[in-house]
């Protein structure tokens, strides 16, 4: 293993360790017991079969949101709009789930495809504006998040809901729920979405690393001028990158709509999954396998935090502080790399 590759692995590991250590210091300063707090967090994430099921269920959309962010990163784009793409994907999947009653072999793939198409459309718009008019994708995707939130709320109220705040439950033929997986995990909300998310990670890895299209996308991300000189269609690849990123995000929404909740409801604010996907991608080094590991960590932190107030009298907000610290240390990777380089020199 090369030194550079080893450093790339060690940086996020040290970032997590530092985040946990500084988080413990914050707990101490705030008058809480960090050992009791982290023990409660671990138990709430992995303490029994039910908690493990809930953690895996939470990991599912995190993997897909992380893949969406990472795919754009790897191709030189910053997709802040994963949250909005997830919301429209969730809406589209549930809409198909309640509008039709078909055999499961047709209905479920159709609902997931609708979510992917909705996410792709929401990714296409900023991609097209970037390619055609050089409008920065960060500005457009942030605005598209709010458009997605309020448009989806309007559609739910006017089209999908009789009660005014949520849709009907989807037909069983469109559901990702699994009695087998639920029975294994003491009837948690675990569903088949975890399998889809793992397949998506393999698809992203294969597409970027093993195909000509992936090579072109990465080349455009590295240097647009050189790619254009080499005969690549830069504008087409920018749009394609945002569309594929939107597909991953839309499928993440389908996991929530068809698996976890089996409906869609009016939202007072963002789900947060899309924004957490940015942290997952950063911690995972924008690589498929790293994203899976980072999603497991974030899923465990989010689910485990729910046990902290009752078991250790520690507020769940402290977990958000730990997550923020991990992101801070990942973003400050230059400092960690500098320390590692000096340690290597001293070792020699």
Supply the pLDDT for residue 293.
Answer: 96
For position 262, what pLDDT does the model report?
96
Tokens of 40: 């409660």
User: pTM for the complete prediction?
Assistant: 0.94
- Residue 244 belongs to some domain of the structure: yes
What pLDDT, on a 0 to 100 scale, did the predictor assign at position 346?
A: 63
In a domain, 334, yes or no: no
Q: Examine residue 133 and state whether it is found in any structural domain, yes or no.
A: yes
Q: How many domains are contained in the chain?
A: 1
- How large is the angle between the packed helices 3-29 and 317-331, nearest 10 degrees? 150
Q: How many CA atoms lie within 13 A of 12 on its CB side?
A: 20
Which residue ranges of the chain lie beneath pLDDT 50?
none
Whether residue 221 lies inside any domain: the answer is yes
Q: What is the pLDDT, as a whole number, of residue 264?
A: 96
Query: Distance between CA 245 and CA 231 in Å, rounded?
Result: 24
Q: How far apart are CA 57 and CA 60, in angstroms?
A: 5
3 state DSSP class of 30: coil
Inside any domain, residue 109: yes
> Does a structural domain hold residue 299?
no
How much is the pLDDT for 164? 75
In a domain, 313, yes or no: no
CB 112 within 8 A of CB 93: yes
pLDDT in tens, 67-77: 999 999 999 99
Q: Which domain holds residue 71?
A: 61-291
Residue 220 lies inside a defined structural domain of this protein: yes
Q: How far apart, in whole angstroms, are the C-alpha atoms of residue 260 and residue 298?
A: 17
């Amino acid at each position: 293993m090369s030194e550079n590759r080893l450093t790339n692995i060690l940086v996020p590991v040290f970032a997590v360790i530092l985040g946990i250590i500084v988080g413990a210091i914050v707990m101490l300063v705030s008058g809480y017991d960090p050992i009791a707090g982290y023990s409660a967090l671990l138990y709430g994430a992995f303490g029994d079969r039910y908690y493990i099921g809930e953690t895996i269920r939470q990991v599912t959309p995190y993997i897909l949101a992380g893949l969406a962010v990472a795919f754009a990163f790897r191709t030189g784009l910053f997709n802040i709009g994963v949250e909005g793409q997830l919301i429209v994907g969730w809406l589209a999947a549930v809409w198909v789930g309640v509008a039709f009653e078909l055999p499961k072999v047709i209905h479920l793939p159709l609902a997931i495809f609708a979510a992917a198409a909705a996410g792709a459309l929401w990714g296409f718009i900023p991609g097209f504006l970037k390619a055609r008019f050089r409008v920065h994708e960060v500005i457009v995707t942030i605005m598209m998040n709010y458009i997605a939130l309020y448009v989806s709320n309007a559609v739910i109220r006017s089209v999908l809901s009789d009660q005014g705040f949520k849709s009907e439950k989807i037909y069983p033929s469109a559901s990702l729920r699994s009695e087998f997986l639920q029975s294994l995990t003491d009837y948690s909300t675990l569903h088949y979405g975890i399998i889809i998310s793992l397949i998506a990670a393999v698809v992203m890895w294969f597409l970027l690393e093993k195909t000509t299209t992936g090579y072109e996308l990465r080349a455009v991300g590295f240097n647009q001028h050189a790619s254009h000189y080499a005969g690549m269609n830069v504008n087409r690849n920018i749009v394609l990158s945002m569309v594929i990123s939107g597909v991953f995000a839309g499928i993440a929404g389908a996991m929530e709509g068809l698996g976890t909740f089996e409906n869609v409801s009016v939202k007072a604010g963002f789900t947060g999954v899309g924004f957490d996907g940015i942290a997952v991608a950063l911690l995972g080094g924008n690589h498929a396998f790293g994203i899976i590991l980072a999603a497991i960590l974030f899923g465990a932190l989010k689910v485990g935090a729910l046990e902290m107030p009752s078991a250790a009298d520690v507020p769940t907000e402290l977990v958000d502080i730990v997550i923020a610290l991990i992101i801070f240390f990942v973003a400050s990777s230059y400092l960690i790399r500098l320390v590692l380089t000096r340690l290597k020199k001293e070792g020699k």
